[in-house]
Amino acid sequence: MSVEQEQAERTIRCLVAKVGLDGHDRGAHVIARALRDAGFEVIYSGLHRAPEEVVQAAVQEDVDVVGISILSGAHNTLVPKILDGLKEYDAFDDRLILVGGIVPDDDKDELRNLGVDEIFGPGASMEEMIDFIHDNAPER
């Protein structure tokens, strides 16, 4: 039984989280489905999550990828709160942190400095994102 079952690659788990007062969920839905079709396990948070909830989900679900979708413009306050929470629970280093949505170029460097691994805006291709995850998912 186990001989056939042995998976060449472990199953990658991704959180797709909508944080704050942001009702734009089209992109998050599109991403969740695309990641599923790529063979990942996706946990979708639902809308209007507080940063602590995103942290709670990322820790408990032990996801490899924390995907934060923000189109509200509040990324500069919300993303750092999530990153701090992940650090507090020792769940930062071995996780890929992605931000998607509307992030002005001027803010991107700051987010990267804080620990965000990559930022994907409108028009980013699914293939690009999926390849990025495959190439950069943490070793565990």
Partner 1 sequence: MSDLVDDLLAGKHSALARVITKIENRSPGYREIVSDLHEHTGSADVIGVTGSPGAGKSTLVDKVAATYRDRGLTVGVIAIDPSSPFSGGAVLGDRIRMASNAGDMDVFFRSMSARGSLGGLSTATTDAVTALDAFGKDKIIVETVGAGQNEVDIVRTADTVAVLVPPGSGDDVQMLKAGILEIGDVFVVNKADLDGADRTVQQLREMLQGRDGRPETGHHGATELGGDATALEANGDDEPETWDPPIVETVANRSEGVGAFIDALANHGDYLDRTGRRVRQTRERYASEIRTLLREDANELLADELARRGGIERYVDDVVERHTDPYTVVDEVLEPLRECVAERRDG
* Cα gap 22→99, rounded to integer Å: 14
Q: How far apart are the first and last CA of the chain?
A: 25
Can you state the angle between helices 105-114 and 75-88, rounded to 10 degrees? 10
* The one among 73, 76, 91, 117 contacting partner 1 by CB under 8 A: 91
Select the binding partner of residue 73 from partner 1, ligand B12, none (C-beta < 5 to 8 A, by kind).
ligand B12
Per-residue contact string for residues 21-50; x = within reach of ligand B12 by CB under 6 A:
-xxxxxxx-xx-------------------
* The one among 102, 112, 115, 117 contacting ligand B12 by CB under 6 A: 102
Nearest partner of 127 among 63, 13, 31, 45, judged by Cα: 31
Residues that bind partner 1 (CB under 8 A): 1-3, 5, 10-11, 13, 32-33, 35-46, 49-50, 52-53, 55-57, 59-62, 89-91, 140
